[in-house]
Chain A
Amino acid sequence: MAAAMPLALFVLLLPGPGGWCLAEPQRDSLREELVITPLPSGDVAATFQFRTRWDSELQREGVSHYRLFPKALGQLIAKYSLRELHLSFTQGFWRTRYWGPPFLQAPSDTDHYFLRYAVLPREVVCTENLTPWKKLLPCSSKAGLSVLLKADRLFHTSYHSQAVHIRPVCRNARCTSISWELRQTLSVVFDAFITGQGKKDWSLFRMFSRTLTEPCPLASESRVYVDITNYNQDNETLEVNPAPTTTYQDVILGTRKTYAVYDLLDTAMIHNSRNLNIQLKWKRPPENEFPPGPFLHAQRYVSGYGLQKGELSTLLYNTHPYRAFPVLLLDTVPWYLRLYVHTLTITSKGKDNKPSYIHYQPAQDRLQPHLLEMLIQLPANSVTKVSIQFERALLKWTEYTPDPNHGFYVSPSVLSALVPSMVAAKPVDWEESPLFNSLFPVSDGSNYFVRLYTEPLLVNLPTPDFSMPYNVICLTCTVVAVCYGSFYNLLTRTFHIEEPRTGGLAKRLANFIRRIRGVPPL
């Protein structure tokens, strides 16, 4: 295709007035971060975050020159005047009850009227989703933390979630101008028992089959945080290798945590050994040393029998010993499950629980799903059951998915709550604190924001016999043809009066014998 064409230059370029100005200060910056958290169940969670911040008003200035911010996303924002975009691909389910509250939730709420929310529970996440995601990173996967993003390891995990979050952030305290923030996040949960042959020790190499070799030269911050919180005050239970240069302490998700910090931009960090392979060893088996489970977790299921009616139930657990807190429950249910809103019951501790706010938007067939949003107060140390009955609708025969007997997915419900914290937290300075700490806004120190998703549900719908149209056509045609045939016979046949035949069976038998004998019949 390509051809080397020596060019004859005759284009005259005139420098415009002003001549050459020096390059203006860079208006975009990149921070990258990896948080490794040993989970209560013994698994290891790794959370990558890449944050590009661009001091530019994409929608207003008609910008078309990109540096760190990916052009494809910038064009999307400018063309469709996006206000925010959150896109995530998740494989597996975050087990809040065993793993604790997740780090990554969708950031603070957006206005409902502009929000478009959609979930595709049936979609499978694959390496083909990871590759374009990696291409959006300024350092691609060549340097920095992104070296660890090797597809075959990332998808051999119990949980994999990659996301792109774009939102405007205030450039200053009074918010007179905005910047655009792109956060690319990726969380994985490694099953430590399987990869570590029964031991809970881990290292970067064992998890990712790579080590860190060089920082991304474009990043202004590149750090690895390892959760080394010591719940047992008396003696040390774990050790990390190499020893961290600093540690970081803060209140994360309501509990006090300690992190070992490795700064890749610190030249001594990598140059000593040419690569950085962080290892964690347990000195004693960690048992019952983790804090009790999270205060809020939820469960959801479908009950009922038959293919006509059913019931959706959501169980909300508040395990806090003495504090009640409100939860905002958002449910989107497809239109082919026709909800009976009058059957909505909310009970906690055997008593009716009246929600302080209900917003219900009924479904329209084939156009929009049901939207049910409630603010429910969860009493201390209780289980609240939210249940609603539904009827299964019949779809048109072309509307069924390729494998309809597999069932139809119902998207998870979303729980947003301000959960009381165990320890009071300081307000966060967004630009200074680590990225994982600035994911959720802390309104005041006494509680923290959590957004949880329940399991997606699989509901069976009545499925027709798909050869039915053909059968119906054939049967109708046959019936018509049979009626037609007898009618036709009746109308076109000529009827004769025939002489009654004399003699019965005996005579015919006699004649038959006579014919055999060669005698003329009677």
Chain B
Amino acid sequence: MAAAGAAATDLEVVRGKRAALFFAAVAILLGLPLWWKTTETYRASLPYSQISGLNALQLRLMVPVTVVFTRESVPLDDQEKLPFTVVHEREIPLKYKMKIKCRFQKAYRRALDYEEEALSSGSVQEAEAMLDEPQEQAEGSLTVYVISEHSSLLPQDMMSYIGPKRTAVVRGIMHREAFNIIGRRIVQVAQAMSLTEDVLAAALADHLPEDKWSAEKRRPLKSSLGYEITFSLLNPDPKSHDVHWDIEGAVRRYVQPFLNALSAAGNFSVDSQILYYAMLGVNPRFDSASSSYYLDMHNLPHVINPVESRLGSSAASLYPVLNFLLYVPELAHSPLYIQDKDGAPVATNAFHSPRWGGIMVYNVDSKAYNASALPVRVEVDMVRVMEVFLAQLRLLFGIAQPQVPPKCLLSGPKSEGLMTWELDRLLWARSVENLATATTTLTSLAQLLGKISNIVIKDDVASEVYRAVAAIQKSAEELASGHLASAFVASQEAVTSSERAFFDPSLLHLLYFPDDQKFAIYIPLFLPMAVPILLSLVKIFLETRKSWKKPEKTD
């Protein structure tokens, strides 16, 4: 009876143990994964390794240069070797994580008949006109014509000439090392026309460590899909001056052609307004000697802020705005001049603020006051104004004066005020800047997502990231193969996609549920469930260990 009772009890004990183990198994194998799965935040997979790979990306900027030799430009036996291709590659030393290499791929060939004919004409302009017609050159490519040493196409003391389009002319030489010497000259000219360290340093100014030059280099506007240009006429004293400006005509004649030439770099919209009673923020200093007023250079930063509140924000788009202000000083403060560091009046009476725009002070002719009663009718000379504003516009877009090699003749500007190769240079710089921006954005997004595990990553965010990565890679490939136009488009797409992913509002959805609060809610369930399971597991473990040890001892 007792044995049967003991056996029944043993059976009970074993059953209890099994039940406890089964509970533990269900809780751990079924409960925990179910809870984990149902409460996890959705995170689409991202190409983390590719993003970290972007930082070590090598940018190879390929500039295809076609070099055309005329008959008497190099010794005859050298001419026999044509055509062939020479590659000149050079690393651009910038303190940036991306390695940037600049590669001039020079394809040497002999001149065709019509080219010979054109280059033997009297002046370089004529030659250019004749060479222009047959073929359209691709963006970013260059053609250099090598003419004979004694050609009268260029003035005798000039060694080379840079044209307004994508062509240049270099004087040849009769020498044993002719190709080497000419090759060096060609690279000099090609660098001036395409990529220099300065241009890239300015483009990457935001991504480079601060140094003493960076403030100066940060002048150009950041790359964007479009820009808004606003011309404002500030008339603080409408009682004395009745100012009229033919802004419509001026925009049509001067600004629009320039912007049309620039249209590859983005969309532009132009508008203008007249603001009355808009004052500058500082009181100019009176100079009794010349009975005129002066704005010191250190005062200029204070000029902009009070005016800016009147300029108004753009309601129609999110593009960056470039402001150009024409300030007609009030009667009490005229004439007004801007002084530079040395105290001399600035010739243009204008200044600009990096990434913001420019201000020009337009003084009313003092003779006008004698003639008639107030208000004086003022017709603004738009040629004078637009000269200044267009020069400022070029600076703000980062189209700086090229570094011309010695003994090089630079052609006069085209009527649009922009040379074709300057546009190419801008596109090179913008492409590199876009790539740097997109890479930085993606890297910081990846870092952020790695750091904060609560962020939801939706599928559309992930697809934007994939698209941005693909666009960066495509752009880099296109740059390496010398297709500037498509590289620029791809780099813009990369920036757009990466920013759209970075600023997607869905990233913020679950950010405000910290872990400690979540667990505070779970504890009433977790604690009473976990404690018995753990206790019985511990008990079973101890008993099993005891029963293992016991047989050892008896044996």
- Which residues of A are in contact with B by a Cβ distance under 8 Å? 1-16, 20-21, 23, 64-68, 70-73, 75-76, 78-79, 135, 138-140, 142-143, 214, 217-218, 470, 473-474, 477-478, 480-482, 484-485, 488-489, 491-497
A217 CB contacts on chain B under 8 angstroms: 238-239, 375
User: Which residues of B, 308-322, contact A by the 8 Å Cβ criterion?
Assistant: 309-310, 312-316
- Which residues of B are in contact with A by a Cβ distance under 8 Å? 5, 9, 12-13, 15-17, 19-20, 23, 230, 238-239, 244, 246-249, 251-254, 269-274, 276-278, 297, 300-301, 303-304, 309-310, 312-316, 338-341, 346-348, 350-354, 356, 375, 379, 383, 386-388, 390-392, 394-395, 401, 412-413, 415, 417, 521-522, 524-525, 527-529, 532-533, 536
Partner of B316, one of A14, A78, A139, A473: A78
Cβ B388 vs Cβ A64 within 8 A: no
Taking the nearest CB of chain A, how far is it from the CB of B163, in angstroms? 16
Sample of 15 more A-B contacts, CB < 8 Å, known A78-B316, A488-B532? A1-B304, A3-B352, A11-B394, A11-B417, A13-B390, A23-B379, A71-B230, A75-B314, A140-B278, A218-B238, A474-B524, A481-B525, A488-B23, A488-B533, A491-B16
Report the separation of the CA atoms of residues A220 and B502 in the bound assembly, to the nearest whole angstrom.
Answer: 52
Taking the nearest CB of chain A, how far is it from the CB of B126, in angstroms? 20
Cβ B276 vs Cβ A138 within 8 A: yes
Taking the nearest CB of chain A, how far is it from the CB of B175, in angstroms? 36
Report the separation of the CA atoms of residues A13 and B383 in the bound assembly, to the nearest whole angstrom.
Answer: 7
Cβ B246 vs Cβ A139 within 8 A: no
Listed from nearest, the 9 A-B pairs whose CB atoms lie closest are: A481-B528, A477-B525, A64-B271, A477-B524, A142-B277, A2-B353, A79-B316, A66-B273, A16-B253
- Nearest A residue to B17 by beta-carbon distance? A492
Cβ A67 vs Cβ B277 within 8 A: no
Cβ B252 vs Cβ A16 within 8 A: yes
Report the separation of the CA atoms of residues A135 and B532 in the bound assembly, to the nearest whole angstrom.
Answer: 72
B274 CB contacts on chain A under 8 angstroms: 66-68
Cβ B315 vs Cβ A72 within 8 A: yes
- Using a Cβ cutoff of 8 Å, how many contacts connect chains A and B? 185
Taking the nearest CB of chain B, how far is it from the CB of A196, in angstroms? 32
A491 CB contacts on chain B under 8 angstroms: 16, 19, 23
Partner of B315, one of A75, A484, A493: A75
A8 CB contacts on chain B under 8 angstroms: 391, 401
Cβ A67 vs Cβ B273 within 8 A: yes
Using known A-B contacts A23-B379, A66-B273, A488-B23, determine if residue A7 contacts B350 with beta carbons closer than 8 Å: yes
Report the separation of the CA atoms of residues A495 and B19 in the bound assembly, to the nearest whole angstrom.
Answer: 14
Cβ B351 vs Cβ A4 within 8 A: yes
A2 CB contacts on chain B under 8 angstroms: 300-301, 303-304, 351-353, 356
- Nearest B residue to A14 by beta-carbon distance? B415
26 A-B contacts, Cβ less than 8 Å apart?
A3-B297, A3-B354, A5-B352, A6-B340, A11-B390, A11-B417, A12-B413, A12-B417, A13-B417, A16-B253, A65-B248, A67-B274, A70-B273, A75-B314, A75-B315, A75-B316, A140-B310, A217-B375, A218-B276, A470-B521, A478-B524, A481-B524, A491-B16, A491-B23, A493-B16, A496-B9
Cβ A7 vs Cβ B391 within 8 A: yes
Taking the nearest CB of chain B, how far is it from the CB of A79, in angstroms? 4
Cβ B354 vs Cβ A1 within 8 A: yes
A494 CB contacts on chain B under 8 angstroms: 9, 12-13, 15-16
Taking the nearest CB of chain B, how far is it from the CB of A453, in angstroms? 28
Determine which residue in B254, B316, B339, B415 has the highest number of CB atoms from chain A within 10 A of its CB, and name it.
B316
A7 CB contacts on chain B under 8 angstroms: 346-348, 350, 388, 391-392, 395
Report the separation of the CA atoms of residues A497 and B12 in the bound assembly, to the nearest whole angstrom.
Answer: 12
- Nearest B residue to A22 by beta-carbon distance? B379
Cβ B524 vs Cβ A143 within 8 A: no
Cβ A1 vs Cβ B301 within 8 A: yes
Report the separation of the CA atoms of residues A67 and B247 in the bound assembly, to the nearest whole angstrom.
Answer: 11
Report the separation of the CA atoms of residues A488 and B532 in the bound assembly, to the nearest whole angstrom.
Answer: 8
Report the separation of the CA atoms of residues A313 and B16 in the bound assembly, to the nearest whole angstrom.
Answer: 71
